[in-house]
Amino acid sequence: MVNYYDAVVVGAGFSGLYMLHKLREAGYRVKVYEAGSDVGGTWYWSRYPGARCDSESIYYNYTFSEEIYNEWTWSERFASQSEILEYLNFVADRLDLRKDIQFDTRVISSHYQDKDEQWLVTTDDGEQVKAKYFITGVGCLSTANIPKFKGLEKFKGEWYHTGRWPHEGVDFKGKTVGVIGTGSSGIQSIPVIAEEAEKLYVFQRTPQYSIPARNHPYSKEFIQQTKANFHEIRKKMHQTSTGLATEPRNRSALSDPPEKRKQAFEKAWEEGGLNLFYTYNDFTVNEKANATISAFIREKIAAIVKDPEVRDKLMPTYYFGTKRPVLDTNYFETFNKEHVELVNVKEDPIQEITEKGVGTKSGAEYPLDILVFATGYDAMTGTLLKMDIRGRDGLSLREKWADGAETKTYLGLAVNGFPNMFMITGPESPSVLSNVPTSIEQHVEWIFECIEYMKEKGYEIVEATEEEETSWSTHCREVAESTLFVKTDSWYTGANIEGKPRRFPIYLGGVGTYGEKIKEVANKNYEGFKLQVVHM
């Protein structure tokens, strides 16, 4: 006996929780499946030491309810993983969401049934349900990338991926630890692990730019003022390019003389956070503008790191901002510590994991008690493709997205051939290049209104047309190709995963512009979607 729902939602992070709330409030029958044992999504899994958000806390939350906004108070500028998880638990309790979420359950497939126009969803415990709408809220960075190093199974020590961190924590005291990877997760965790470990090896492939977070507790006055400005803040978050209430100054880095530019950089460096990235608006589109900020950060690194050899190894060369900007607390300072050693694995790549530790091509072996993989994710499409999603006539999403220069979505929300399926922060939407909760609100509200419109007008099926999908995907690619993003290997482009097609599956036009576009589509009776009334 198969249960029927109006909608099945996958994931109980920021996306799934809000989607559930919105639909359930309007009387729809909704079932949420979540692989974790509780709510939180990425903040449930990523419990590594030092894990925190790079968006300022006052923006990294829902804004759909002023009441909820007022009932929650962030303690500091950049919230820790545990505080964000606490926030999501608070929201789940406050809205009584858990009763419609099935935890510890992974959706393994979802197949559109042409004969009854329902999605047949199958989970890893063999349960099958049917739903009119299939909605994914699986996050853009949720499928851990553990490089296939030879010999990992032989390793006698403990090993962990930052995105699958044990709930009880890891005790590094007195241990020799290795961290592979210097992206955001590596850069956040390395200084914290170094505080405890007896010896720390950092295996670095690409040196990174990183900006001091300058985290600090929020004052009571600041919080009061923020809450008093709720409406203005929410409005701005949905209008800016970033999804924050702040955005880059509308000015080229080349429009100021060097002295003035330096002053702007110095001020922003002292303020910390993404302020430096927002001093000018052309770092990711103009090589010369980029050179100014890249050189500035390199100078800062040089001033912090004492050992000239280590300093050289830490010098980034790519275009700043074309890999995800990283915020840190004492990252470069950590390399001044005697017990921290930087290993350049670009020059001497990791060859294998041995019983004892990490072995490199040159024959060197680094003995370890604990190995940490801070090696990132199969981003953007990885988690969607892990599920076997099949649309009309058995068309598989994996096949549809297998090759070509574009991922192929309409607005990052829908895919031609996959009727009544919606993606929250899907590929080719602003997603990871925005304050993600704002993008999530934008998508959830749009999907909800579309479903309401369908009901009101008596439509049964909504499907993106091939023509509009092609036009949107082409637009996304063309915007990306006019920037420096496509010139750097990163998880944005899929270059971190062997065999993954190289693309840029993120819409770079910004949250505000994107919001206008999807609103216009809705206002024009869902232009670019085919809406059908009758069953065939």
User: In whole angstroms, how close is the CB of 349 to ligand NA7 at the nearest point?
Assistant: 7
Nearer to ligand NA7, 68 or 144 (CB): 144
**Cβ contact 476:482 at 8 Å:** no
Is residue 344 at the binding interface for ligand NA7, with CB under 6 A as the rule? no
Q: Rounded distance, CA 143 to CA 136, Å?
A: 14
Q: Rounded distance, CA 472 to CA 467, Å?
A: 9
Query: Judged by CB under 6 A, which of 106, 214, 227, 324 binds ligand NA7?
Result: 324
Is residue 318 at the binding interface for ligand NA7, with CB under 6 A as the rule? no
**Cβ contact 319:294 at 8 Å:** yes
Q: Rounded distance, CA 234 to CA 68, Å?
A: 13
Is residue 491 at the binding interface for ligand NA7, with CB under 6 A as the rule? yes
DSSP annotation of 440: H
- Residue 372: CA count within 13 A, CB half-sphere: 36
Nearer to ligand NA7, 382 or 510 (CB): 382
User: In whole angstroms, how close is the CB of 325 to ligand NA7 at the nearest point?
Assistant: 9
Please give the residues from 468 up to 487 whose contact with ligand NA7 meets the rule CB under 6 A: none
Nearer to ligand NA7, 138 or 450 (CB): 138
508 CB-near residues (< 8 Å, 6+ apart) = 430, 433, 476, 479, 480, 483, 485
Site string for ligand NA7, 393-432 (x = CB under 6 A): ----------------------------------------
Is residue 162 at the binding interface for ligand NA7, with CB under 6 A as the rule? yes
Q: Which residue is nearest to ligand NA7, using beta carbons? A: 183
User: In whole angstroms, how close is the CB of 500 to ligand NA7 at the nearest point?
Assistant: 12
Size of the site for ligand NA7 (CB under 6 A): 22
Is residue 519 at the binding interface for ligand NA7, with CB under 6 A as the rule? no
Q: Rounded distance, CA 72 to CA 87, Å?
A: 7
Nearer to ligand NA7, 504 or 529 (CB): 504
Is residue 345 at the binding interface for ligand NA7, with CB under 6 A as the rule? yes
**Cβ contact 339:198 at 8 Å:** yes
Buried b (16+ CB within 10 A) or exposed e, 269-305: beebbbbbbbbbbbbbebeebbebbbebbbebbeebb
Is residue 374 at the binding interface for ligand NA7, with CB under 6 A as the rule? yes
Is residue 35 at the binding interface for ligand NA7, with CB under 6 A as the rule? no
Q: Rounded distance, CA 413 to CA 364, Å?
A: 48
Nearest 5°: CA angle at 327, between 482 and 506? Answer: 30
Q: Within a 10 A sphere around the Cβ of 83, how many other Cβ atoms?
A: 16
Site string for ligand NA7, 110-149 (x = CB under 6 A): -------------------------------x-----x--
Pair of tokens at residue 198? 């007896």
Radius of gyration of the chain measured on its C-alpha atoms:
23
User: In whole angstroms, how close is the CB of 348 to ligand NA7 at the nearest point?
Assistant: 11
User: In whole angstroms, how close is the CB of 496 to ligand NA7 at the nearest point?
Assistant: 5
Query: Judged by CB under 6 A, which of 280, 292, 496, 514 binds ligand NA7?
Result: 496
Site string for ligand NA7, 82-111 (x = CB under 6 A): ------------------------------
Query: Judged by CB under 6 A, which of 107, 180, 197, 506 binds ligand NA7?
Result: 180
Query: Judged by CB under 6 A, which of 13, 40, 49, 186 binds ligand NA7?
Result: 186
Is residue 185 at the binding interface for ligand NA7, with CB under 6 A as the rule? yes
Is residue 242 at the binding interface for ligand NA7, with CB under 6 A as the rule? no
Q: Rounded distance, CA 333 to CA 314, Å?
A: 11
Q: Rounded distance, CA 49 to CA 512, Å?
A: 34
Query: Judged by CB under 6 A, which of 193, 340, 350, 358 binds ligand NA7?
Result: 350
User: In whole angstroms, how close is the CB of 43 to ligand NA7 at the nearest point?
Assistant: 11
User: In whole angstroms, how close is the CB of 269 to ligand NA7 at the nearest point?
Assistant: 20
**Cβ contact 209:283 at 8 Å:** no
**Cβ contact 104:122 at 8 Å:** no
Is residue 210 at the binding interface for ligand NA7, with CB under 6 A as the rule? no
Is residue 63 at the binding interface for ligand NA7, with CB under 6 A as the rule? no
Residue 309: Cβ-neighbour burial (10 angstroms; 0-12, 13-18, 19+): exposed
Q: Rounded distance, CA 190 to CA 151, Å?
A: 24
Is residue 41 at the binding interface for ligand NA7, with CB under 6 A as the rule? no
Phi and psi at residue 44, to the nearest 5°: -80, -40
Query: Judged by CB under 6 A, which of 89, 122, 206, 488 binds ligand NA7?
Result: 206
User: In whole angstroms, how close is the CB of 341 to ligand NA7 at the nearest point?
Assistant: 16
Q: Rounded distance, CA 448 to CA 454, Å?
A: 10
User: In whole angstroms, how close is the CB of 285 to ligand NA7 at the nearest point?
Assistant: 21
Is residue 294 at the binding interface for ligand NA7, with CB under 6 A as the rule? no
Residue 254: closest CA among 279, 293, 288, 278 = 288
Nearest 5°: CA angle at 67, between 66 and 69? Answer: 60
Q: Which residues bind ligand NA7 (CB under 6 A)?
A: 141, 147, 162, 180-186, 203, 205-206, 324, 345, 350, 374-377, 491, 496
